[in-house]
């Protein structure tokens, strides 16, 4: 006897501009809210969902087939799903099991994350490109379109929000066994960054986001790494002051994504909100010294203003998509706006981390 198929309950995505979309639930029931952004990654949805930089955001996947190879838990970048919600196009892919039998739908349900399938995700991406990142709600709880749009308009904007303390380690943690030690200010680090540092020959001690410079330097690390993470860098005044103190210490400092932005702000540069952010694993970035083009993984909604860095700070990388600044160097400091660790995406930029650490040793 054949099993009777069960149609999932409906789900709705409402945006602050008045748009409302209806699809099917692909995760947990309930209501999620946040800034709605899109990612162009074709694979790596587990890594995307568990990237702490997506905290407070509803992620729209432009690739139509998301979930068709299931979930491998070893791909997780954090101990739980960070994204507030998830939107995909295909109605059936989220049910495909992975090697351990876990489907994307089950992964989202277990994580308590609201998701929807069957939405026109590429149309949504075009809308966001035109209007900019939009506040929204994703829900399985039926309500009028007017009520849902009103709720979306009450969602807090990302500007002015300091979020790293919500996704950072609670207590210091040590990774790796090398005698070469690096302190990591965990602003929402992915596990792949820690793996990349260990593969470069160092052990890593991760500290909570509000750790002082004195504590980060206390055990004599050969370098301090400022990780990626969510939120508005300009709202992170304590972390900016900590970064400024680290720079004055003379110990080499490497900033990744949000950490890069904090380095720039500590130096006196200014930041701004990108129209729709950079999210995905196929962003071309040019090395201004060698001319090499790297295909990079990116996940950020803010950027540093080109030309706002003070004298002595050399620009090293530029985005070939929109020309935004992607890297800089200054004496013992360096910053990369993209994610050299990948996860998801190419790993070719990991070499930049190894070079920095070898120059620091």
223 in Cβ contact with 356 (< 8 Å): yes
CA distances from 65 to 40, 82, 88, 332 (A): 12, 21, 8, 44
Can 341 be counted among the known catalytic residues? yes
The sign of the dihedral angle between the CA atoms of 271, 273, 278, 283 is negative
For residues 184-194, one letter each, b for 16 or more C-beta atoms within 10 angstroms of the residue's C-beta and e for the rest, the string is bbbbbbbbbbb
Which residues lie closer than 8 Å to 215 by C-beta, 6 or more apart? Answer: 207
Q: Are 114 and 88 in contact (CB under 8 A)?
A: no
Backbone angles phi, psi at 156, to 5 degrees: -60, 140
CB neighbour list of residue 75: distance below 8 Å, 6 or more residues apart: 44, 46, 47, 50, 343
What Cα–Cα distance (Å) separates residue 53 from each residue in 57, 59, 91, 178, 254? 9, 11, 27, 28, 18
Sorted by sequence, the CB contacts under 8 Å of residue 311 that are 6+ apart come out as none
Annotated catalytic residue within 16, 47, 239, 257 = 257
Cis before 218? omega within 30: no
Tokens of 139: 């829900």
* Residues known to be catalytic: 257, 339, 341
């Amino acid at each position: 006897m054949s099993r009777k198929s069960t149609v999932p309950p409906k789900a709705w995505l409402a945006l602050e501009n008045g748009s409302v979309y209806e699809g099917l639930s692909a995760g947990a029931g309930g209501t999620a809210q946040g800034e709605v952004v899109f990612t162009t990654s074709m694979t790596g949805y587990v890594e995307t969902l568990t990237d702490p930089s997506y905290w407070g955001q509803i992620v729209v996947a432009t690739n139509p087939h998301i979930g068709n190879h299931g979930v491998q838990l070893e791909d997780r970048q954090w101990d739980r799903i960070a994204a507030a919600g998830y939107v995909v196009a295909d109605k059936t892919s989220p049910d495909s099991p992975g090697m351990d039998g876990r489907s994307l739908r089950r992964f989202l349900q277990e994580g308590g994350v609201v998701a929807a399938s069957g939405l026109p995700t590429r149309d949504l991406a075009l809308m966001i490109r035109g209007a900019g990142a939009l506040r929204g709600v994703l829900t399985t709880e039926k309500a009028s379109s007017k009520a849902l749009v009103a709720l979306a308009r009450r969602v807090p904007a990302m500007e002015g929000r300091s979020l790293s303390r919500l996704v950072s380690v609670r207590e210091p943690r040590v990774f790796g066994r090398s005698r070469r030690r690096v302190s990591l200010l965990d602003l929402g680090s992915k596990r792949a960054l820690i793996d990349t540092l260990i593969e470069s020959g160092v052990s890593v001690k991760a500290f909570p986001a509000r750790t002082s410079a004195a504590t980060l330097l206390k055990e004599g690390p050969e370098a301090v790494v400022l990780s990626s993470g969510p939120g508005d860098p300009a709202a992170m005044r304590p972390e900016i002051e900590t970064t400024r103190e680290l720079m004055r210490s003379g110990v080499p400092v490497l900033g990744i994504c949000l950490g890069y932005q904090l380095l720039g702000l500590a130096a006196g540069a200014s930041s701004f909100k990108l129209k729709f952010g950079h999210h995905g694993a196929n962003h071309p970035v040019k090395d201004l010294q060698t001319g090499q083009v790297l295909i990079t993984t990116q996940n950020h909604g803010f950027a540093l203003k080109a030309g706002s860095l003070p004298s002595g700070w050399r620009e090293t990388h530029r985005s070939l998509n929109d020309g935004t600044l992607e890297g800089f160097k200054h004496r013992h400091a360096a910053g990369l706006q993209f994610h050299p660790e990948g996860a998801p995406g190419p790993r070719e930029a990991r070499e930049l981390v190894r070079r920095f650490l070898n120059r620091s040793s």
